[in-house]
Amino acid sequence: MEFITQCGQAAGPIGQGTWYLGEHPDTFARECSALRAGIEAGMTLIDTAEMYGNGAAEHLVGQAIQGYDREHLYLVSKVYPFNAGRRDIFQSCENSLRRMGTDYLDLYLLHWRGSIPLSETVDCMEELKAKGRIRNWGVSNLDLADMEELFEVRGGTNCLTDQVLYHLGSRGIEFDLLPWLQHRGMPVMAYCPLAQGGSLRRGMLANPAVQEVAKEHGATACQVLLAFLLSRPGVVPIPRSSTAKHTLQNAAAAEIRLTSEELGRLEAAFPAPRHRVPLDIM
């Protein structure tokens, strides 16, 4: 369950997110350096979307990847639901490619489900593959019922991944969606793996169990949160970072191996639901 680049290499176990990046001229250079630091550290999967800053994040990615061997990178973008039909998806894809300065996307995702039938979106995704504009396609923010419906559509089983919100404080997908995806060998992209912010993020980082495990590994609390997700088979977290320092800290989390006892403490502090819950998206 890996994301494989054009040259046949697996992308790093941790990717890079770009939500809210590229939107301000005064931080553009710093954010570009952060992405480049990640690439140098092996975080070759970069996730973006046409929605992020109305293309500003895609433009940032395009600047950051200049000078790198494109075949060693794994670039992901997402199409708005209202653009995911035959009328608009091909132009949306071309716009994303132009902003990123690349001839193809490694992965193109339906950002969330809208009113356009899944069958139409799948047909268009397969056409983009045939044209060489994308190598693979997937979805984002689809829950189990949506995935089951997708797999009934012609070509739906070609879906490569489901990108969903997943972190220690939001474990709802572990009840049914994650096992379903793992059973089918589909890697999961975990967005907002460090939580978005506010009281939940603060509560996670300051939690005694998280702090204790971090101290035992000489790591930061954020690195422990990433290591928790990396302990799950087929889960690829895609944290966002606006500085090279934090990006390198994220990359170093891949070296942390949590013991079963440590995982037990973290799971006890933030237990998974014992029943089905709606998919978190924020």
Q: What is the pLDDT of residues 76-99, one digit of tens each?
A: 999 999 999 999 999 999 999 999
Domains and CATH numbers, the chain: 25-195+235-255 (3.20.20.100)
Q: What is the model's pLDDT at position 201?
A: 85
Catalytic residue among 52, 74, 166, 191: 52
Query: Which of the four pLDDT bands, split at 50, 70 and 90, describes residue 282?
Result: confident
Q: What is the model's pLDDT at position 206?
A: 95
Q: How far is CA 179 from CA 149, 188, 235, in A?
A: 17, 11, 11
CA distance 110 to 276: 24
Sheet holding 188-191, edge to edge: 45-47, 74-79, 107-110, 137-140, 162-165, 188-191, 235-237
- Supply the DSSP symbol for 251: H
What digits encode the pLDDT tens for the residues 173-224? 999 999 999 999 999 999 999 997 777 888 999 999 999 999 999 999 999 9
| Contact indicator for 139, 159 with CB cutoff of 8 Å | yes
Q: Comparing C-alpha atoms, which of 150, 97, 94 is closest to residue 119?
A: 150
Tokens of 157: 């089983």
The pLDDT mean for the chain works out to 97
Query: Which of the four pLDDT bands, split at 50, 70 and 90, describes residue 280?
Result: confident
CA distance 185 to 233: 10
Q: What is the model's pLDDT at position 202?
A: 87
Instruction: Identify whether 52 is a catalytic site residue.
Output: yes
pTM for the model stands at: 0.97
What digits encode the pLDDT tens for the residues 211-227? 999 999 999 999 999 99
Q: What is the model's pLDDT at position 200?
A: 83
Mean of the pLDDT values across residues 241-257? 98
267 Cβ contact list (under 8 Å, min separation 6): none
| Contact indicator for 144, 170 with CB cutoff of 8 Å | no
- The answer on pLDDT for 38 being more than 80 is yes
